[in-house]
Chain A
Amino acid sequence: KQEVTQIPAALSVPEGENLVLNCSFTDSAIYNLQWFRQDPGKGLTSLLLIQSSQREQTSGRLNASLDKSSGRSTLYIAASQPGDSATYLCAVRTSTNAGKSTFGDGTTLTVKP
C-alpha cells in the first residue's frame, strides 16, 4: 500500500527566501505525482504535475523534481512571498491503482513580510 509523507508539517520563512518542500513515497511504481496548494477553507489548486518519465516540471517560481528510485519529490519555491502562504500537498498516483491517488498530509507554509 502506497504511503506518502510530507516533512516538515509546518514551515515559517521570511519573505524573499528560497525554500524546499519534501514529499516521500514508499512504492516507486508511480504513474505521476501532483503538487497542490490549499488555502484555508478552500479546495485544492493544482500547481504542477510530473509524469513518471519526467525528472522535473517548472511553472513560474515553482520547480518540482521527481526521483522515483529514492521515492522522493521536492517542490522548490523561489523568492517566496506572503501570498505563497498556504498548505502544500503532494499526491501520488500509482500504476497499479487505476485513477486513485494517495495524498500526503501537507506542509503548511507561512511567509512572513
Chain B
Amino acid sequence: DVKVTQSSRYLVKRTGEKVFLECVQDMDHENMFWYRQDPGLGLRLIYFSYDVKMKEKGDIPEGYSVSREKKERFSLILESASTNQTSMYLCASSSPPLAGVVHNEQFFGPGTRLTVL
C-alpha cells in the first residue's frame, strides 16, 4: 500500500521559531510537493521538487525554504514562523509525466495542522 507520511499531525510553535515539517514517501517517486490549505483560498503550492537536491518555487514560496537530500524525504522549513503561516500543510508525491507511464497519480500525506502563536 502506497504511503506518504508527515512527521506531525498537529504542531504549535511561537512567532520567530524555526520550524521543520518532514515528509516521507515510500513509492520511489521523483516529484514531491508542499502545499498549504486555507479556508477560502484552497490548496496553494509552496515548493516542489522533481529530483534529489532540485527544487522549484510554487505560487507562494515567501517565508519558506525546502530541502531534498534523499529521494524519499522532502522537508519544508519556516525560517522564522509568523502567525500568518498558521495553516494546514499537505505533502504529496507523484511520478513525473512521462510518455508511456499510465499511472501518475498524486498521493497525499495526512497533513500537519500548524498553529503559530
- List residues of A whose CB falls within 8 A of some B CB: 31-32, 34, 36, 41-46, 49, 51, 89, 91, 93, 95, 98-101, 103-106
Contact = CB atoms under 8 A, between A and B. Distances in A.
A106 B31 CA distance: 23
B110 A43 contact: yes
Contacts of B97: 31-32, 93, 95, 98-99
Contacts of A31: 97, 104
B105 A99 contact: no
Interface of B: 4, 30-31, 33, 42-43, 45, 48, 50, 58, 88, 90, 92, 94, 96-97, 102-111, 113
A99 B50 contact: yes
A31 B45 CA distance: 18
Contacts, number: 57
A101 B106 contact: yes
Nearest to B103: A49
Chain A interface secondary structure, helix, strand, loop or mixed? strand
B113 A41 contact: yes
A93 B92 CA distance: 14
A91 B106 contact: yes
Contacts of B94: 99
Contacts of A98: 50, 96-97
A15 to B, nearest CB: 27
B48 A41 contact: no
A45 B111 CA distance: 11
B43 A42 contact: no
A80 B102 CA distance: 29
A104 B30 CA distance: 24
